[in-house]
Chains A and B, each alone.
Chain A
Amino acid sequence: MTECRRLIVPLCWFSLLLAATLGMGQLEGLFRVIEPGSRQVIYERADFLSLLGRHLSVVGAAAVLAILIGVGAAIAVTRPRGRDFLPLVSQLASMGQTFPPVAVLALAVPVLGFGTLPIIVALLLYGLLPIVRNTLVGILGIDPSVREAARGMGMSSGQILRQVELPLAAPVILAGIRTSVTINIATAAIGATVGASNLGDPIISGIVNGNTAYVIQGALLIGLLALSVDSLFSRLPSPIVR
């Protein structure tokens, strides 16, 4: 019961998002007030549902890869065997935070060409850093005596990782994933400038044609999407039972 109640707020946001996506056409009167001069006030080059779907799939693909690679890399460099790489990886993770997403995106295009692939790669690279950093902070922040105690109980290294280190570090890792995904939902919109079609499309098209209604439609949906995902993360069950 409490599990269900926990999900009420994210569900509200998601249903609002879905309603806005499907019912954008119904709001024509409202947008007509905002943009009285334009012939068309609802973005119609693609329907919002498929734009939302593409936006979600790009961010989702990048997030899954970033989580796999980021958490994997952070685990690898905190094992005895990979420990030599720890200073380098943690320095890279903090330096990489300074790379502007637009620059990363712009640098991915010459290598990978236009379309969806450079966006996924840029979002992946950009989303990797908070995840790596937070996983490192989470695992390294565990009191060494806890690890000692687990070893003293006869746990193997793998067991310690799965049953002690990861559960203890999980809140910090989740916070990193949350930052990464929320930033990427907004950054993906810039992808519309390099030919990926997603919720950034109406915004770009609105800026180019001077049609504020388009911009609002894109921004509204991206904002709702970000809020939905963020509220979902904030209510994920905490894996630690204290």
Chain B
Amino acid sequence: MPFDRPRYNVVLLSLSLVGLLVWLALDTVSVAPNRIVPGTSHGLAESLGWGGVLVSALPLLALAALARRPTPKSLRIALGLVVVQLATLPLWLSLAAHRLVDPGAVGARLGIGAGVWLLLFLLLMLLVELRSRLAISRLAGAALLVMPLAVLGWCLTQWLAPLALWQEYLGRRDQFLGAIFEHLALVGVAVGVSLVLGVAAALAMRRWQAAQRIGFGVLNFLQTIPSIALFGLLLAPLAWLSAHVEWLAALGVSGIGWAPALLALVGYSLLPMVRNTFVALEAVDPGVIDAARGMGMSRGQVFRQVRLPLALPVILEGVRITTVQAIGLTAVAALIGAGGLGTFIFQGLGQAAMDLVLLGALPILVLALVADALLGALTDTLRPGGAE
């Protein structure tokens, strides 16, 4: 099939050319004297000087050239170039900071421009594309990002002090770590509780037909309530409970905070969890169960040693979906004072401080991607016949 197509790799060619275009044409950085004043934007030539423009464009041109003959070897070189280009982005930002930000100006801020964001996005797409072309494993793909991240970390400590996002972080360093911890704790507890409840509910549904209909009806209904509303709806009942039941109040349950957030998160997490567990347990081949029974296994043994292990990958798929969804929903929970990274998003929106919004949104995105990748890898490992 590949013979009737042109020889060059169209994806590589077009992504690198579009990358070159946005890098050359769009704003690279913006510089603001302080947090409140909107910054002035600077193009590439202003930010890096003409020498910098040439050098920074070279890897992209080389990528486009490599696309003409996509042999495995040249694709590997292309992958190397993409990683190098990713790693040089922080260096270019440092150069721009050095050229444009007056070292004497305290509080001056460097904003990252659309050109850099888009190039970053395109480079990550190139990474995904080349990784799948070269059939590189998930783990090795993640390892490729170590070098760019190390360069970024080093630049941040050395030269990128005026970077607005970094300044927002430095101003809230303790809060930030606390917020990540709160976020993960809420997600972890919600997923854990819904896993236990979900498996129990799925087992009950397999037992009783009526429970199945009612259970799925209730859970489906719960999903139609917008998350933001569910958080709001739990405010009053929980406030009432904490005012009237002493031991709940002693536990720290109140109308705002973690209690309504956790309840709502569990409510939302139950549907994917129950559905996947139920489907997973139902979908086990009846022949396998018969064979196990024929070997003299008891009901309990069949369930523990045959049905559950076979269903495990699909159940884990449910855990993955639930976790990713909960990471996003916890961001909304910040509206009712549950803490977590969403706090920064809503604070930032309230103050029109976009870098603060980014400080909340980017880690949430990263957390979701990492959780997705880790649980996906775990599912692959546990799949019967999968990599051990």
User: Which one of B147-155, B200-208, B274-282, B327-335 is at the interface?
Assistant: B327-335
CB distance from A187 to the nearest CB of B (A): 8
Given contacts A194-B349, A212-B235, contact A203 B229 (CB under 8 A): yes
B132 on the A face (CB < 8 A): yes
Give which listed residue, A100, A110, A186, A210, contacts B364 with CB less than 8 A.
A100
Alpha-carbon distance between A102 and B346 when the two chains are bound, in angstroms: 10
A176 on the B face (CB < 8 A): no
Q: Which residue from chain A places its CB closest to the CB of B13 in the assembled complex? A: A84
Q: B235, A210: Cβ atoms under 8 Å?
A: yes
Given contacts A103-B365, A194-B349, A227-B224, contact A189 B128 (CB under 8 A): no
Alpha-carbon distance between A92 and B329 when the two chains are bound, in angstroms: 21
Q: B369, A98: Cβ atoms under 8 Å?
A: yes
Q: A102, B232: Cβ atoms under 8 Å?
A: no
Alpha-carbon distance between A193 and B232 when the two chains are bound, in angstroms: 14
Q: B114, A98: Cβ atoms under 8 Å?
A: no
B324 on the A face (CB < 8 A): yes
CB distance from B253 to the nearest CB of A (A): 17
User: For residue A146, which residues in chain B have a CB less than 8 angstroms away from its CB?
Assistant: none
B284 on the A face (CB < 8 A): no
User: For residue B129, which residues in chain A have a CB less than 8 angstroms away from its CB?
Assistant: 87-88
Interface residues on B, range: 35 or more
Q: B331, A219: Cβ atoms under 8 Å?
A: no
Interface residues of A in 142-175 (CB under 8 A from B): none
Alpha-carbon distance between A202 and B229 when the two chains are bound, in angstroms: 10
User: For residue A91, which residues in chain B have a CB less than 8 angstroms away from its CB?
Assistant: 128, 132
Alpha-carbon distance between A35 and B240 when the two chains are bound, in angstroms: 12
Interface residues of A in 8-41 (CB under 8 A from B): 34-35
User: For residue B331, which residues in chain A have a CB less than 8 angstroms away from its CB?
Assistant: 100, 102-103
B48 on the A face (CB < 8 A): no
Chain B residues at the A interface, C-beta cutoff of 8 Å: 5, 9-11, 114, 125, 128-129, 132-133, 224-233, 235-236, 255, 324, 327-329, 331-332, 335-336, 342, 345-346, 348-349, 352, 354, 357-358, 360-362, 364-365, 368-369, 371-372
